[in-house]
Structure formats: structure tokens, C-alpha cells
Amino acid sequence: MIKFERNKLSLFLIFLLLSSYFLGFYLREITNGAGHIDLEHHIWIVINDLRKDYFETIQNYQSYGEATFPFFHSFQSFFNPATKNLFYCLNNTIFNLLIIFIFYQFLKLKRIDFENNFLVNLIPFIILLSPWFRSSSYWGMTENLSFFFLIPSLYFLNLLIQKKTSFKNNLILTVLISLTLYARQQFLFLAVFHILILLLNNNKKELIFTIVIYSFLSLPGFYVLHIWGVFKDISQATTASSGLSLENILLNVPKISSLFFFYFIPIVLTNFSRFLKIFFSRKCLLIFIIVLFIKYLLFNDINYPFKSGGYIVKFNYFFLNNDPKLLILISSAFFAYIISIIKSNNYKYFLILPLIYLNYGFVNSVYQEWFDPLYILMYYIFFSKDHIVNLRLNKNSTITFLFIWEFVILMIAFVYYHGIKEIPLFYTF
């Protein structure tokens, strides 16, 4: 009886989430601020031109003002038959539901001991509340396609860290990460992380083979870069390449740290007593004081523009007159806590963090959409079973909190863009 009631509740919640998702499409919801603009002025034009003359459009791709490789646009031009932009968006909205199914399948493979087993059915649906996942679906944007390859990539990376993989799985992982990069080049850190773990595992044969496969699979990308003239002028790659700079890496540390911290809050609050115990330990406090001092010297005069950066940066801009002290404090606390919990048996997982800092830090603007709903996938697919249990991610309270967390984020985004910014509902072009 209890199991039956739980199943009924699970189905009801799934129904509500799916209803909310399609209601957002009906309203032409815009909760990332620019989905409709990207579709109207960039994506839709590229897709239609690809259908007319594929090779000429690829050759002149830089003129369209896109920030990603044309993998997504090519996929849509071949497999999305819609000739009207509304039906094109509807097809994407339905198609992206497959990501939920893929998430669910790989979550089951983890065989996590949940407090209630029916929760495994609900967790993948959390991403339906992500404002960036929704807007990308509703407006046929490029972000979500990468998740089809990213989710299994994270699963196989977890196996690789634990040395539970095989030659075949490593080959699959290499192909998946390559496809992820073609879909979204911002995930370059995954390929670097993959090679780094193979190096640490002292698996020389697979390391050499992996580098060879990566090199082979990168040839189409390098060829496209060649015909664009990128090797003569890197700014010719995409619009995102114009703002690349080594100087940005250091400047973006507090900004990226604030985004890490923002999505770490659910774990902190659901493990609050443990968090306080670790943070107020002598080791953590000492690290915190040292890092705080260094970051104060480095970033005391930093001022971030309103554009990009995420909720904490915008809060700092609006309410604290762009004073960097809050970001320095948050960044230092995050660094101190992470360093304090690194151990010999888990350090490989944490090596992905500096790679993300380096990868995301090159650009002028760091966006919150790069972390949401990625953090959910990292928690449940990339983390090991032991980490998931240790962080109480298998508990009712934590999962409930994650749903509430994403719902609040969605509501804030909805009110901000449709209320304060007055972007109209039912937007058409």
C-alpha cells in the first residue's frame, strides 16, 4: 500500500513537472534573457542557410555571429524538418525530454541506495525546472544538445577514476567527449581531465590510444578552423574567441568561485552541522585566513560589470555597490572548504575544479547557464556512490531541497525577465 501511494505521488509530481515544462513553452517563456534574440538573429538564419547551401554556409559561418561550432545547427538542419520557427522550437522542446530519459538510465546504473527508491524516478526531472534548460529547449538554442553526450561521459569518467573501466569503455568515453566538444566547446576541460586521469592511473597504452583517437576525431574541427582562417587570426573562430585572454583567468576566479558556491549551497544546508564542523576546524580556518589575505590583495579593486556572472554577482552589483568584499569572502570560504576535504582517496575528483577555472576563465563573460543544470548532473552522475551517500544526496530532504532550489531560481528568473525587464510573454517573430 505504501509503495503504491509513493508511486502515485511520484507519477503526480512528474505530471506537474511536465505540465510546467509545456506551459512554459505555451507562454513562450524567456528565463535566460536572450533565447529569443539568439534564435531570431542567429540560429534560425544559420539553420535555414545550411538547408539551402550547406558548404557555403559553413565556409561563411563566422559572419552569422555564433559562439559555438556549427554541430548543433548541422544537426537541426538535417533532423529537424520544421520550416516554421514555432514548430522548430516545439520539436526541440519535445526532443530534449530524451535527456531526462538518458539521465534516468545512467542514474539507475549507479545503483545508489536511496532513502526511498521511487526518488530515482524524480531526480532527472529536476532539470525541467532549470531556467536555462527550459529556455534552451523553448527557443531551440545550442546548449542542451551537449547533454546527450555529456551525461554518459560523466558516467564513464567516474568509472575511469575508480579504475572500473575497460579498453572498450575508454574508447566510448573518448568518442562521447569529442561529440560533447563539438556540441559545446566550453567542455574542453573534460578531454583534459580524461587524459590527466589516464596519466595518473599509469595506463600508458590507453593514454597513447586516447590521444590518437582525440587527434583523429578533431580533424573535422581543425579543417573547419582552417577554412575560417583561424590559424592566421584566432578571432575568426567564433564570436566567443574575440574575448579570450590569459589575464581573464585570474580576474574570473572570484566570479567562478561564487557560481560554484551558489550551487554548493543545497549541499551545505542539508549537511549544515558537518559543514560547520569542517569549516571551523583549525586546518580549514588557517587555510581560509591565508586565502582570504591573498585574495584581498589580488581582488580588492576588482569591479565586475552587470552583464553575466550569475545571481551572486548581480546581487553584489545591485545591493552592495559592486564592492568585491562579498565575492572575496565567498571565494575564500569555498577554496578553504574544498582544500580541507581533499584526501588521498578522492583527490582525482577534485582535479576537475582547477581545469574548470582555467577553461571558463579565459573568456570575458562567465555565465550562470554554464553551471545549471550541469551541477545536478555532476552530483548524481559524476560523483561516486560513496560521495553521493556521504553528501546525503540520496536523502528525501536533500532531493526535496534541490527541487525547491531550482523552482525558486526559475521563479526569480521569470519575474526578473518578464516582470522587471518586461520581456513579453507569447513572443513571436
101 and 42 in a common domain? yes
33 and 153 in a common domain? yes
- Please indicate, yes or no, if residue 388 is contained in any of the structural domains: no
98 and 183 in a common domain? yes
Backbone CA torsion sign across 19, 22, 28, 31: positive
364 and 398 in a common domain? no
- Please indicate, yes or no, if residue 172 is contained in any of the structural domains: yes
Residue 245 CB coordination number (10 Å): 12
Question: What residue type is 405 in one-letter code?
Answer: W
365 and 398 in a common domain? no
What share of the chain has pLDDT > 70, as a percent? 96
> Could you say which of 369, 384, 408 is where a domain stops?
369
- Please indicate, yes or no, if residue 339 is contained in any of the structural domains: yes
Q: Does residue 376 surpass a pLDDT of 80?
A: yes
- Please indicate, yes or no, if residue 236 is contained in any of the structural domains: no
212 and 66 in a common domain? yes
- Please indicate, yes or no, if residue 240 is contained in any of the structural domains: no
Residue 68 CB coordination number (10 Å): 21
Rounded to an integer, the average pLDDT of 327-347 is 91
Residue 263 CB coordination number (10 Å): 21
Q: Does residue 349 surpass a pLDDT of 90?
A: yes
Please list the alpha-helical segments (H only) found in 27-43: 35-38
Q: What pLDDT does 235 receive?
A: 61
Residue 374 DSSP SS3? helix
Rounded to an integer, the average pLDDT of 257-264 is 93
Give the CA distances from residue 384 to residues 111, 234, 348, in Å, rounded to whole numbers and listed in that order: 10, 38, 11
What share of the chain has pLDDT > 90, as a percent? 69
- Please indicate, yes or no, if residue 94 is contained in any of the structural domains: yes
Q: Does residue 351 surpass a pLDDT of 80?
A: yes
Convert 72-85 to b/e letters by CB count within 10 Å (16 or more is b): bbbbbbeebeeeeb
Rounded to an integer, the average pLDDT of 333-338 is 93
pLDDT in tens, 282-312: 999 999 999 999 988 888 888 777 777 888 8
333 and 205 in a common domain? no
Rounded to an integer, the average pLDDT of 1-29 is 83
**pLDDT tier at 320, thresholds 50, 70, 90:** confident
Spatial distance between the Cα atoms of 131 and 145, rounded to a whole number of angstroms: 16
Structural domains of the chain, count: 2
Spatial distance between the Cα atoms of 247 and 266, rounded to a whole number of angstroms: 32
- Specify whether the backbone of 111 is left (phi greater than 0), alpha (psi in -120 to 50) or beta: left
211 and 147 in a common domain? yes
Is the Cβ–Cβ distance between 135 and 32 less than 8 Å? yes
94 backbone dihedrals φ, ψ, rounded to 5°? -75, -45
Average pLDDT, the chain: 90
Is the Cβ–Cβ distance between 68 and 184 less than 8 Å? yes
Write out the E strands in 140-198: none
pLDDT in tens, 402-412: 999 999 999 99
Spatial distance between the Cα atoms of 18 and 14, rounded to a whole number of angstroms: 6
Spatial distance between the Cα atoms of 303 and 180, rounded to a whole number of angstroms: 33
In which domain, by residue range, is 290 found?
Answer: 247-369
Nearest residue to 308 via CA among 248, 358, 268: 248
pLDDT in tens, 386-406: 999 999 999 989 999 999 999
- Please indicate, yes or no, if residue 36 is contained in any of the structural domains: yes
Nearest residue to 20 via CA among 91, 117, 97: 97
- Please indicate, yes or no, if residue 310 is contained in any of the structural domains: yes
Give the CA distances from residue 123 to residues 87, 398, 410, in Å, rounded to whole numbers and listed in that order: 29, 11, 17
pLDDT in tens, 91-107: 999 999 999 999 999 99
Write out the E strands in 70-201: none
261 and 126 in a common domain? no
365 and 253 in a common domain? yes
Q: Does residue 4 surpass a pLDDT of 60?
A: no
Is the Cβ–Cβ distance between 251 and 357 less than 8 Å? no
Nearest residue to 36 via CA among 367, 417, 419, 420: 417
69 backbone dihedrals φ, ψ, rounded to 5°? -60, 155
Q: Does residue 163 surpass a pLDDT of 60?
A: yes
319 and 195 in a common domain? no
Spatial distance between the Cα atoms of 64 and 41, rounded to a whole number of angstroms: 8
| Burial of 259 (C-beta count, 10 Å sphere; 0-12/13-18/19+) | buried
171 and 279 in a common domain? no
Is the Cβ–Cβ distance between 411 and 31 less than 8 Å? no
